[in-house]
Amino acid sequence: MSLFFRGVSMASGSFCADRNALGRRVSKSLGFHLLQKQHHQHIRQFSFHSYSGSGSNPFNESMHATTILSVRKGNKVVVMGDGQITQGGSLVVKPNAKKVRRLGDGGEIICGFAGVTSDAITLMERLEKRIEMYPGQVTRACVELSKLWRTDKYLRRLEALLIVVDKDVSLTLDGTGNVIESNDGIVAVGSGGSYALAAARALLDVPDYDAEMICKKSMDVAAELCVYTNNNYTTEIIEIQKSDEGDKNKSKSKK
């Protein structure tokens, strides 16, 4: 009888040992998969912080892969944008895209965009509706679009940066609720925007350079320094009449 119980105890002990070993192997396996999952999450977070600007998706490398510049000088307001579309950071899929367009019934407003084309077109359509609601009030239309862009659960996912100009103001819009008016009449967005902005400010005081020439020279600088910017430019110009300047000065003096 004692031999029987001894055999049973030895068998149960070996069973417990096997069960403990199996539990250790399962826990190690689960721990490995947990660490692997955390590693992939860390990689995704790193990619998001590396490539995204102010948006919520890690695609945002394409958001910056362009250059849009606007210069206001004398009786001209010029908006110029390059035509390169880059996919994956290394593949040029189109060299002559049009990223600068006119808005409004008479085309008195110019809009340039950097980002996903479909998102930018959606935002420009919404902006046109606001312009129709508030005719002659570009700043208010942009503020209303910015509020909608910020609060709407669908629009807040759109990834783009907009430059909106008319004969009076030059504005920059992003998806964080900012509507920024330029103090010197020069605005730029995109991967080459900093280069173009710096060059334009350096050339603004040159007497013989008008707004279009400053834009051209500055965009050439950006195209040489930024791999996402080419020399196929789209240019839109607003000619400011003297009567418009006089009306603007009168409104300022009333304020």
Place of tokens 């944008």: 81
Task: Cite the active site residues.
Answer: 66
User: Is pLDDT above 80 for 254?
Assistant: no
CA pair distance 134, 147, nearest whole angstrom: 15
Amino acid letter, 27? S
Nearest Cα to 72, choosing from 165, 195, 190? 165
User: In the chain, pLDDT over 70 holds for what percent of residues?
Assistant: 69
What DSSP letter does each residue of 88-112 carry, written as one string?
Answer: TTTEEEES----EEEESSSS-EEEE
Q: Which residue has the higher pLDDT, 56 or 203?
A: 203
SS (H, E, C) 142-199: HHHHHHHHHHCCCHHHCCEEEEEECCCCEEEECCCCCEEECCCCEEEEECCHHHHHHH
pLDDT tens readout for residues 45-76: 433 333 333 334 433 444 457 999 999 999 99
Q: Mean pLDDT over residues 229-244, rounded?
A: 88
Whether 15 has a pLDDT exceeding 50, the answer reads no
Local structure of residue 240 (DSSP, 8 states): P
- Report the interhelical angle of 193-203 vs 211-225 (nearest 10°): 140
Going from the C-alpha of 149 to that of each of 27, 39, 125, 250, the distances in angstroms are: 47, 34, 12, 33
Mean pLDDT check: name the lowest of 9-23, 86-100, 126-140: 9-23
User: Which residues make Cβ contacts (< 8 Å) with residue 157, sequence separation at least 6?
Assistant: 55, 56, 57
211 and 77 in contact (C-beta within 8 Å)?
A: yes
**DSSP run (H or E) holding 239:** strand 234-239
Q: What is the distance in angstroms between the CA of the first residue and the CA of the last residue of the chain?
A: 110
Say how many C-beta atoms besides its own lie within 10 A of residue 15's C-beta: 10
- Comparison of pLDDT for 2 and 66, the residue scoring more: 66
* Both tokens assigned to 164: 């909106």
User: Does 217 have pLDDT greater than 60?
Assistant: yes
Of 77, 74, 70, the residue nearest 208 (C-alpha): 74
What pLDDT is recorded for position 175? 80
Distance between CA atoms of residues 70 and 165, nearest Å: 8
Q: Which residues is 77 bridged to in the sheet?
A: 72, 238
